Structure 1
Amino acid sequence: MDRNLQFLAPLNGINEKRLRYFYTVMMFGSMRKAADILNIEQSAMSRQIQLFESELKINLFKRKGRHIIPTEAAYLVLEYFKENKNRENELFDSLFQLQSSQLGKVNIVSSESYMQHMIYDVLRHVHYKYPNLEIQLELMSAQHVVRHIVDSLAHIGLAYNPPFHTDISTIAHKTEPFILAVPAGHPLAKLKHRICLPEISDYKFALMPVGHGFRQLLDSEMVRLQVNLNIGLTTNSIYALKNYVVAGHGISAMRYADIADAVKEGQAVALTIDSELCNTAQTQLMVRKNTHLSESKHLLIERIRSSFDLLF
């Protein structure tokens, strides 16, 4: 061993609790936000990070006024956390297979749009095959679905128009055009051509917050066409978007599947948007690249693919 090396690993290894605190700070870019998420005092969070830096004998953040900037060392520690989390998941998957007891846990992250099929079809088949399998299902934006998969916080992700990431493998997909939903009898429903975004600028519009696949499509097209929407409602709920239209408050945009029942009942009309980007938008089923998939995960993936008519 080189006696000139000054950096020594902590005798007791890395403190897992402080590593978790550090990861939360990195994800939210703020001591205050991280403290709020973990329900602790900001001073306690700051103290834990200082102890973690002392433990590692290196600075992880530079302080500039009220802001913090991660150092190069911080990104090395973050990569360690991600790799460690991924190896932990692989270990549990391997133990699950070894035990052959059909016990385990699978974490799925998804956009709200897919809940009905997920609950009524996918889970029914999976619980029949693996009655003791625990499934954790979390709803979130497309952006957060990708982040959870990349950070190995979830095994399987399902989202509409998710952002590209080099660590993500899309294992199945389906083209689902992004359509305009308007109340029955709306002036736009009388037009005989595809709807251009400039034509909708006078009508109250309901849309999702930044980070959702729906919003990313709209923002891209608004920038391209230099159009502003007359926003009447911003919500992270598909149910709210649909009912905003059905109630006659205004118009919105979504997958046809999200408004199909209201269209069939004559409460709404689905219109094609004059946009190649909107008409080629996809639902994507994702996992992290080079990740181990257990038998139960393979079954879940196949059931999701079949239920949503996704293509490999």
Structure 2
Amino acid sequence: MDELRIAYLFETTKAGSIRGAAERLQVNASTISRQISLLEKDLGIPLLERLPRGIRATEAGRMLVDYYADQKVARDDVVAKIHELNALTRGTVQLVIGEGFIGDLLSGPLQEFCRSHPGLSLSVDVMATDGIIRAITEDEAQIGLVFNPPFDERLNTTARISRSICAIVPVGHSVAKLGHEPTLAELLPYPLACLSSSFGVQKLIDDATQRDRVHLHSSIRTNSFTLLRKFVVSGLGIALMPGFVAAEELADGLVEAVPIANDILKAAEIHIVTRHGRQLPPSALRLLGHLKLHLKAFYATANA
């Protein structure tokens, strides 16, 4: 069916006459009459009753008029929602992060963003590095916050900063009293908690130990940064991770972050990633800019 012809029918029934519709639309009356006649011919049924004063839609005509009215309302609603998206008053932003960033996000950045944009919803999933890359490249999430991701041509890094992996040790631990940056070999005597191999942090540690021909025995292997921090705070041993992951414990004076003499661990980076070629909506772009400005992990003074 020709939408323009249905629109002429709608306006004619609304105005009560073809002449009234012509005046409203600023179209020649004969044009409207001809188009409605063609619509009746296409459907094989009368759509208007000609009355002594004006016109009235037949049952079939009323069905078309109601259809057009519903479509117009739906179209106007979609346009309004699109304007709302552009105005950041509605929509959902999908964020996927490593567990180590939870404390940083909840310390202020997410609260500030939600307070500034109450109409937006945030979806935040926590995954290891492999899961973050999969979620971004398969469009399950719009923005990823990941530690030292491997090169992937499908990923676009929108921001990065160096954040070395340190030895997180209890306050006063002998490693913190060495007076120099310890090598990986010097950490061998101490009980160690490690992450699962799916984490970017652990992959980098494994690369460093292989290069230095050192085998670090792990007392505990886990998929939780929280457990690593508790392991250290409880005095059970040490853990290797970026200092910002233990920012709360460092601020409370419960642990110390000791730099390690290893260029691989010092070259670690935090990345904010999106899928290469994906056009982000205004809401996701706003969150992206907010994270770059407000994540403590991206501050120049953040714990290394």
Class of the TM-score when normalised by the shorter of the 2 chains: 0.5 to 0.7
Contact 1:178 1:279 in 2 (8 A): yes
- Please name the residue that 2:13 is paired with: none
Deviating above 4 A after TM superposition, structure 1's stretches of 4 or more consecutive aligned residues are 94-97
Q: Of residues 61, 84, 108 in structure 2, which corresponds to 1:121?
A: 108
TM-score after normalising by structure 1? 0.65
Contact 1:122 1:300 in 2 (8 A): no
Task: Tell which deviates more after alignment, 186-195 or 99-108.
Answer: 99-108
- Tell me if 1:301 matches 2:288: yes
Q: Of residues 133, 136, 159 in structure 1, which corresponds to 2:123?
A: 136
CA-based RMSD of the aligned residues comes to 2.0
Distance in 2 between residues matched to 1:156 and 1:265, nearest whole Å: 31
What are the within-5 Å matches in structure 2 for residues 168-247 of structure 1? 168-247=155-234
- Tell me if 1:100 matches 2:102: no
Give 5+ residue unaligned stretches, structure 1: 1-93
- Tell me if 1:289 matches 2:273: no
- Please name the residue that 2:69 is paired with: none
Contact 2:145 2:270 in 1 (8 A): yes
Contact 1:202 1:230 in 2 (8 A): no
Shift of the 265–97 alpha-carbon distance from structure 1 to 2, 3 Å rule, reads: same
Shift of the 283–274 alpha-carbon distance from structure 1 to 2, 3 Å rule, reads: same
- Please name the residue that 2:241 is paired with: 254
Shift of the 261–119 alpha-carbon distance from structure 1 to 2, 3 Å rule, reads: closer
Distance in 2 between residues matched to 1:123 and 1:96, nearest whole Å: 27
Aligned residues: 218
Question: What is the identity, as a one-letter code, of the residue corresponding to 2:272?
Answer: L
Distance in 1 between residues matched to 2:191 and 2:80, nearest whole Å: 52
Shift of the 220–206 alpha-carbon distance from structure 1 to 2, 3 Å rule, reads: same
What are the within-5 Å matches in structure 2 for residues 71-82 of structure 1? none
Give CA-to-partner distance per residue, 1:32-54, whole Å, 9 cap, x none. xxxxxxxxxxxxxxxxxxxxxxx
Distance in 1 between residues matched to 2:80 and 2:280, nearest whole Å: 11
- Please name the residue that 2:7 is paired with: none
Give CA-to-partner distance per residue, 1:44-77, whole Å, 9 cap, x none. xxxxxxxxxxxxxxxxxxxxxxxxxxxxxxxxxx
- Please name the residue that 2:250 is paired with: 263
- Please name the residue that 1:273 is paired with: 260
Larger Rg: 2
Give 5+ residue unaligned stretches, structure 2: 1-77, 300-304
SS in 1 for 2:239: strand
- Tell me if 1:166 matches 2:166: no
Distance in 1 between residues matched to 2:81 and 2:218, nearest whole Å: 51
Distance in 2 between residues matched to 1:173 and 1:279, nearest whole Å: 14
Shift of the 300–264 alpha-carbon distance from structure 1 to 2, 3 Å rule, reads: closer
Contact 1:97 1:294 in 2 (8 A): no
Once the two structures are aligned, what percentage of the paired residues are identical?
26
Distance in 2 between residues matched to 1:159 and 1:114, nearest whole Å: 8
Contact 1:196 1:273 in 2 (8 A): yes
Q: Once the 2 structures are TM-superposed, how far is the Cα of residue 143 of structure 1 from its aligned partner?
A: 1.8
SS in 2 for 1:162: coil
Shift of the 239–125 alpha-carbon distance from structure 1 to 2, 3 Å rule, reads: same
Q: Once the 2 structures are TM-superposed, how far is the Cα of residue 207 of structure 1 from its aligned partner?
A: 1.0
Q: Once the 2 structures are TM-superposed, how far is the Cα of residue 290 of structure 1 from its aligned partner?
A: 0.8
Question: What is the identity, as a one-letter code, of the residue corresponding to 2:123?
Answer: Q
Distance in 2 between residues matched to 1:245 and 1:197, nearest whole Å: 17
Distance in 1 between residues matched to 2:152 and 2:81, nearest whole Å: 29
- Tell me if 1:112 matches 2:99: yes
SS in 2 for 1:166: coil
Question: What is the identity, as a one-letter code, of the residue corresponding to 1:193?
Answer: H
Question: What is the identity, as a one-letter code, of the residue corresponding to 1:206?
Answer: A
Q: Once the 2 structures are TM-superposed, how far is the Cα of residue 164 of structure 1 from its aligned partner?
A: 1.5
Give CA-to-partner distance per residue, 1:189-237, whole Å, 9 cap, x none. 2211111111112211101101101101111011111211121111122
Shift of the 123–259 alpha-carbon distance from structure 1 to 2, 3 Å rule, reads: closer
Question: What is the identity, as a one-letter code, of the residue corresponding to 2:84?
Answer: S
